[in-house]
């Protein structure tokens, strides 16, 4: 008999138990002798796949396996079924019902029933069978015992179908947790003659050698392999550590070592030694693994970390390795000599070294600072401050006051601040000295002067000097003055006014005066008034200066300045200034407007606008404009404005417009007249054969609105005159009919 033909011992034992029960049940007079096994299997199948809570008596009594005499009623039949089940040897009474005495017997019978129905095993195209032995999301599977016996019972006759499903379970996508099912099959030897064990072990070994699995999955895989073949599992993990394939990370080798230490400590210790001596991953990974080795074996970990601290291709991680080793001597040596480390790495070492060995840390910092760049020296001084204030102060002074100007201003400023922190008495003097140093950028000088008042509540002296310094830009001087003004408003305003007086005669001067006014309005008012009176200044600035200084100057002076601007500035500025006066003093404002309207050099629209705002004060200009302005529409506007004050002159001008023009302006001029004069003017237009028909008809209609009788007569004349166009005659006739 071959291994393939052998029946698993577990199946043999279960079959013996079931057969004994079948023989016992077959003694019943009511049960078909060939139906006892099927009855037990159907009952187990129902409980496994339909409902485990259904009464076993109900399940069995409903089967078609019994032949009942007619004299037995339902209750007697159920009682008979109960005695039959309870007496078969594999079913016992339980909580008023029955259950299988051994769960594995129930699972075996349920599986036997499935195999009896589907002897060809699970098939992809048959959904009734493909669900069996399919991957599950958790382990143990629901009904895992049934599925184990399914695989065992299908194996002799449907081996290919079973192997196909088992291959799915071992696929990387489903392996966790379904490999447990396969391991259970192998452990219980339910598939005789199968190579499932070696094949599964091979798959697990392949998974262990790569880096595709995360740490948890990898550890699980190692555990599964160990369940299958403990000795080979250990050997495989040792190989991963000792002879890693290309691409195997140090992290994975560490994981293998950790697993070995946990399960086979003696062999794990050897792997740990080999791993420590042969780290080969990228620098960050080597450092990470070295730290982990130190957690497992502190002495060995220190040895590895020291090796990394002296390995050039670890780059700045050498500093971290030295720190992790806890050896001050190694840290000091790296600080002093560098050996390719960046300044940041050496600074990290100093910080750590000072807390472990102060004297050695100070000495190493001194030697490092002697050759380091200024910014780094400042960092060294900051680190030294809590441990050796005198040495920190010496280094800070050297950075703040270099013999040449190669140190950037920001670094010098930082050094000066540090000086003040170490020796508060020197804080303000050092800041004042820096703010007065011409070789330092203006922005830094301003920061230093500002720091005195904002952080030390010191005097504004440095800010005042900076605001007066001729070697600094006007922008920075103004900012210094403003900062001073926040503490002493009048001082700040005085400095800004002084700056403004030397600034160009443009918006920059006004901006400075605005800043001064914001600090001290009264102090800035006189300079603003002076700017307003400067005829060389742009007119817009002059008006803005008066607007800004206004409240501090008083109304009479403010109006006088606006009036002066109106008299001396360009036309547009003069008009804007005059309007300011008009709003505050209408009488004075109208006189100013009249003067602007009389400017013969100005444009007609400008003069008319001024005259309209001047009103009666500009009657002379309105008379002139009503007869001379161009275009004619301006004459009309002038005449209309004039009519409010001089109807006679306005009437004459309007009649002149009617007489000498063509088109719509004649209509508008005529309608601007009153009474009979308006009708006469409209009649003139309607009767003018040189005028367009549309305007002649419009004039007649407008006349009709003013005087019905004369207007209708005009329409009749237009309609009846054969010399008029046919269109005009017909239009006039239509309006007569309305």
Residue 254 lies inside a defined structural domain of this protein: no
Q: For residue 226, which of 188, 255, 200 has the smallest C-alpha distance?
A: 200
How would residue 222 be classed by pLDDT, with cut points 50, 70 and 90?
A: confident
99, 29: one domain: yes
C-alpha triplet 290, 291, 295: angle, nearest 5°: 115
80, 37: one domain: yes
Residue 99 lies inside a defined structural domain of this protein: yes
Residue 712 lies inside a defined structural domain of this protein: yes
701, 632: one domain: no
Tokens, residue 320? 């971290």
Residue 312 lies inside a defined structural domain of this protein: no
For the stretch 457-497, pLDDT in tens is 999 999 999 999 999 999 999 999 999 999 999 999 999 99
Residue 645: is its pLDDT beyond 60? yes
Tokens, residue 702? 């407008």
In whole angstroms, give the CA distance from residue 665 to residue 522: 55
DSSP string, 84-133: HHHTSSSEEEETTEEEESSHHHHHHHHHHHHHHH-TT---TT-HHHHTTT
Residue 425 lies inside a defined structural domain of this protein: no
Strand partners, 93: 98
For the stretch 298-314, pLDDT in tens is 999 999 999 999 999 99
Tokens, residue 726? 């046919």
14, 93: one domain: yes
**79 contacts 85 by C-beta, under 8 angstroms:** no
Q: Is the pTM of this model over 0.75?
A: no
Tell me the H-state helices in 194-342.
Answer: 196-209, 215-228, 230-242, 250-263, 265-277, 283-296, 298-309, 317-325, 328-337
Residue 649 lies inside a defined structural domain of this protein: no
CA distance to 113, 284, 307, 621, per residue, from 251 (Å): 50, 11, 18, 100
In whole angstroms, give the CA distance from residue 322 to residue 294: 13
65, 28: one domain: yes
CA distance to 63, 110, 144, 276, 404, per residue, from 58 (Å): 9, 17, 25, 69, 106
For the stretch 542-591, pLDDT in tens is 988 888 888 888 889 988 888 888 888 888 988 888 898 888 899 999 99
687, 603: one domain: no
Residue 184: is its pLDDT beyond 90? no
Tokens, residue 476? 């920075």
Predicted pLDDT at 533: 86
Q: Which position has the higher pLDDT, 559 or 4?
A: 559
Residue 301 lies inside a defined structural domain of this protein: no
Q: Is the dihedral of CA 38, 43, 49, 50 positive or negative?
A: positive
668, 597: one domain: no
Buried b (16+ CB within 10 A) or exposed e, 464-496: bbbbebeebeeebbbbbbbbbbeebbebbbbbb
In whole angstroms, give the CA distance from residue 582 to residue 599: 18
In whole angstroms, give the CA distance from residue 112 to residue 118: 10
Residue 401: is its pLDDT beyond 90? yes
30, 94: one domain: yes
Predicted pLDDT at 5: 57
575, 592: one domain: no
In whole angstroms, give the CA distance from residue 527 to residue 171: 90
Q: For residue 147, which of 98, 196, 180, 192 has the smallest C-alpha distance?
A: 180
Residue 135 lies inside a defined structural domain of this protein: no
How many domains, in total, are found in the chain? 4
CA distance to 285, 581, 608, 635, 654, per residue, from 640 (Å): 95, 25, 11, 8, 8
For the stretch 78-126, pLDDT in tens is 888 888 888 899 999 888 889 999 999 999 999 999 999 999 989 888 8
Tell which of 68, 96, 117 closes a domain. Answer: 117
Residue 2: is its pLDDT beyond 80? no
Find how far residue 720's CA is from the centre of its chain.
84
Helix (H, G, I), strand (E, B) or coil at 31: strand
570, 612: one domain: no
Tokens, residue 317? 């991680």
Q: For residue 164, which of 119, 219, 124, 136 has the smallest C-alpha distance?
A: 124
502, 575: one domain: yes
Tell which of 97, 117, 137 closes a domain. Answer: 117
Residue 3: is its pLDDT beyond 60? no
Residue 383: is its pLDDT beyond 50? yes
Rg of the chain, C-alpha, whole Å: 55
**248 contacts 240 by C-beta, under 8 angstroms:** yes
634, 614: one domain: yes
| Mean pLDDT, rounded, of the chain | 90
In whole angstroms, give the CA distance from residue 218 to residue 235: 16
For the stretch 225-263, pLDDT in tens is 888 888 888 998 999 999 988 888 999 999 999 999 999
In whole angstroms, give the CA distance from residue 303 to residue 297: 10
Structural domain span for residue 540 = 488-579
Tell which of 117, 136, 160 closes a domain. Answer: 117
């Amino acid at each position: 008999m071959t291994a393939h033909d052998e029946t698993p011992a577990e199946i043999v034992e279960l079959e013996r138990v079931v057969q004994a029960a079948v023989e016992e049940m077959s003694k019943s007079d009511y049960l078909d002798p060939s139906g006892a096994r099927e009855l037990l299997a159907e009952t187990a199948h129902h409980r496994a796949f339909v409902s485990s809570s259904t009464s076993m008596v109900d399940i069995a009594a409903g089967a078609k396996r019994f032949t009942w005499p007619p004299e037995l009623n339902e209750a007697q039949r159920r009682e008979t079924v109960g005695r039959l089940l309870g007496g078969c040897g594999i079913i016992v009474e339980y909580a008023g019902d029955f259950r299988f005495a051994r769960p594995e017997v129930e699972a075996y019978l349920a599986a036997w029933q499935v195999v009896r129905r589907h002897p060809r095993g699970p098939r992809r195209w048959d959904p009734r069978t493909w669900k069996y032995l399919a991957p599950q999301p958790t382990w143990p599977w629901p009904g895992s015992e049934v599925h184990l016996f399914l695989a065992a019972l299908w194996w002799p006759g449907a081996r290919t179908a079973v192997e196909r499903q088992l291959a799915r379970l071992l696929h990387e996508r489903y392996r966790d947790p379904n490999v447990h099912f396969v391991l259970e099959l192998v452990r219980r030897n339910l598939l005789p003659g199968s190579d499932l064990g070696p094949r599964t072990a091979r798959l697990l070994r392949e998974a262990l050698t790569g880096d595709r699995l995360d740490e948890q999955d990898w550890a699980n895989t190692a555990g599964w392999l160990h369940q299958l073949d403990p000795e080979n599992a250990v050997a495989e993990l040792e190989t991963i550590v000792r002879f890693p394939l290309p691409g195997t990370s140090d992290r994975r080798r560490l994981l293998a070592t950790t697993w070995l230490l946990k399960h086979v400590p003696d062999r794990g210790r050897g792997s740990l030694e080999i791993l420590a001596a042969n780290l080969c991953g990228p620098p960050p990974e080597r450092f990470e693994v070295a730290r982990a080795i130190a957690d497992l074996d502190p002495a060995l970990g220190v040895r590895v970390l020291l090796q990394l601290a002296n390995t050039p291709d670890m780059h700045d991680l050498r500093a971290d390795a030295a720190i992790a080793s806890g050896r001050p001597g190694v840290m000091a040596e790296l600080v002093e000599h560098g050996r390719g480390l960046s300044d940041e790495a050496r600074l990290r070492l100093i910080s750590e070294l000072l807390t472990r060995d102060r004297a050695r840390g100070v000495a190493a910092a001194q030697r490092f600072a002697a050759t380091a760049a200024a910014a780094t020296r400042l960092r060294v001084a900051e680190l030294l401050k809590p441990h050796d204030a005198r040495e920190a102060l010496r280094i800070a002074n050297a950075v703040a006051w270099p013999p040449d100007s190669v140190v950037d201003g920001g670094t010098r400023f930082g050094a000066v601040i540090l000086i003040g922190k170490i020796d508060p008495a020197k804080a303000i003097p050092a800041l004042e000295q820096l703010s007065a140093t011409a070789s330092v950028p203006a922005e830094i000088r301003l920061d230093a002067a500002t720091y005195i008042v904002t952080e030390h509540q010191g005097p504004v002296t440095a800010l005042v000097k900076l605001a007066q310094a001729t070697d600094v830009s006007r922008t920075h001087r103004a900012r210094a003055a403003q900062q001073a003004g926040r503490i002493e408003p009048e001082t700040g305003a005085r400095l800004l006014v002084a700056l403004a007086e030397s600034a160009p005669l443009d918006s920059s001067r006004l901006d400075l005066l605005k800043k001064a006014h914001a600090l001290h309005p009264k102090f800035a008012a006189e300079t603003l008034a002076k700017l307003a009176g400067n005829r060389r200044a742009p007119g817009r600035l002059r008006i803005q200066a008066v607007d800004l200084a206004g409240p501090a100057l008083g109304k009479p002076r403010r109006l006088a300045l606006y009036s002066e601007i109106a008299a001396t500035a360009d036309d547009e500025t003069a008009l804007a200034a005059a309007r300011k006066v008009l709003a505050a003093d209408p009488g004075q404002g109208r006189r100013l407007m009249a003067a602007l309207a009389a400017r013969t050099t100005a444009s007609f629209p400008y003069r008319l606008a001024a005259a309209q705002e001047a009103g009666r004060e500009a009657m002379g200009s309105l008379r002139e404009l009503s007869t001379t302005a161009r275009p004619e529409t301006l004459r009309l506007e002038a005449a209309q404005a004039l009519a409010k004050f001089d109807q006679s002159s306005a009437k004459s001008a309007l009649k002149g417009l009617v007489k000498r023009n063509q088109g719509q302006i004649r209509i508008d001029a005529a309608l601007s007249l009153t009474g009979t004069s308006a009708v006469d003017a409209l009649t003139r237009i309607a009767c003018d054969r040189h005028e367009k028909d549309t305007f002649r008809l419009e004039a007649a209609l407008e006349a009709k609105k003013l005087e019905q009788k004369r207007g209708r007569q005009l329409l009749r004349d237009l309609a009846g005159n054969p010399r008029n166009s046919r269109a005009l005659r017909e239009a006039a006739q239509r309006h007569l009919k309305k």
